[in-house]
Amino acid sequence: MKSRLILKTGIVLIALLSQSFTVFNENNLAYQLEVKIHGEDVQSALNQLYDRFDFCEEQLSKSVFDRALKGYIYLRQLGELENPQYLTIVDFSLSSKKKRLWLLDMQNKVVLMNELVAHGRNSGDEFAKWFSNSFQSKQSSLGFYVTAETYNGKHRFSLKLRGLESGFNTNAFARGIVIHGANYVDESFIDKGQRIGRSFGCPAVSQKVNTELVNTIKEGTCLFIHYPDKRYLSRSKILNNDLYIPMELLKQLQE
C-alpha cells in the first residue's frame, strides 16, 4: 500500500508540473523544446527571443545561442547568477580572426558588445581545436562559468572566473584563467593577414574594450565558452539536465 501511495503521489506531482512548466529534452546532443504552456509554443517563444537580438556584425549561431540560453536559465534557476542581466558567449568554433565574443543584455534584448577573443596557444593556431582543464596545459577550457571579482595583476585590470563544470573548467580559478586585455588581440593583426595572438588559456580581449567588458560582467554573470566537442556536449551536466522553466521566467525573457 505504501509503495502504491508513493507512486500515485509521484504521478500527481508530475501532472501538476507539466501544467506549469516546460521541459527541455536532450536527444543526440540537440535538444528540442516540445511542451506547450497555457497554449504557447515555448520553442517559438525562444526563437523570437533570438530574433530580437540584432547581431549586426558577426552572426551568433542559433544552436550556440540555444545551448548558452539553456545553461543560463539552468544557472539562474539554481540561484548561481548574482546578476542575471548579462550573458557572455564565446564561440571557439570560429576563426580567431572573427569577432567571436558576444555580450548580451538579457533584460533589454540587445547585443552590447561583439569582440575578438583569444584562445590558448596549445588549443590551436587560427582555430581552437583542443581544450583542457589541466594545469600548465596552456589550453582553453570549455563550458559555463560565473564571473567573480576584479583585480589588478600582471595583465592589469582583470576578471576572475569560476568554472562550474567538473572535468572541463573547474580548475580555471586555480589556473589563473581570467578575462584580461592583451595587445595581441587587435584588428591590426587581421589587417596584415595574420591571426590574433594566443594566451595561456585565458579568454583575452582587446585592451580597448577590456575595462568596459570587465566592469559590465563582473560579480555574478554567466559566461559560456562553446565548441562542438562531442565529449563536452554529451557529458556536460548543465546541458544534459532536464530543466523546468516557470511561466513567470519565460515571460521575463520575452518582455
State the pLDDT at residue 252.
76
Crossing angle for the helix pair 247-254 and 42-52, to the nearest 10 degrees: 30
State the pLDDT at residue 194.
87
Closest-CA residue to 120 (of 147, 143, 148, 142): 142
State the pLDDT at residue 249.
76
State the pLDDT at residue 176.
97
Quote the CA–CA distance of 81 and 131 in Å, as a whole number: 25
216-241, pLDDT tens digit by residue?
999 999 999 999 999 999 999 999 98
Per-residue pLDDT of the chain (255 residues; tens, 9 = 90+): 544 544 444 443 333 333 333 333 333 333 333 333 333 456 677 788 898 998 877 899 999 999 999 899 999 989 999 999 999 999 999 999 999 999 999 999 999 999 999 999 999 999 999 999 999 999 999 999 999 999 998 999 999 999 999 999 999 999 999 999 999 999 988 888 889 999 999 999 999 999 999 999 999 999 999 999 999 999 999 999 876 677 677 777 777
199-220, pLDDT tens digit by residue?
999 999 999 999 999 999 999 9
Residue found by looking up cell 567538473 in the block: 166
State the pLDDT at residue 1.
53
State the pLDDT at residue 253.
77
State the pLDDT at residue 23.
34
Q: Are 199 and 125 in contact (CB under 8 A)?
A: no
**Ordered domains of the chain (ranges, CATH):** 2-254 (2.40.440.10)
137-156, pLDDT tens digit by residue?
999 999 999 999 999 989 99
Neighbour count for residue 151 (Cβ, 10 Å)? 13
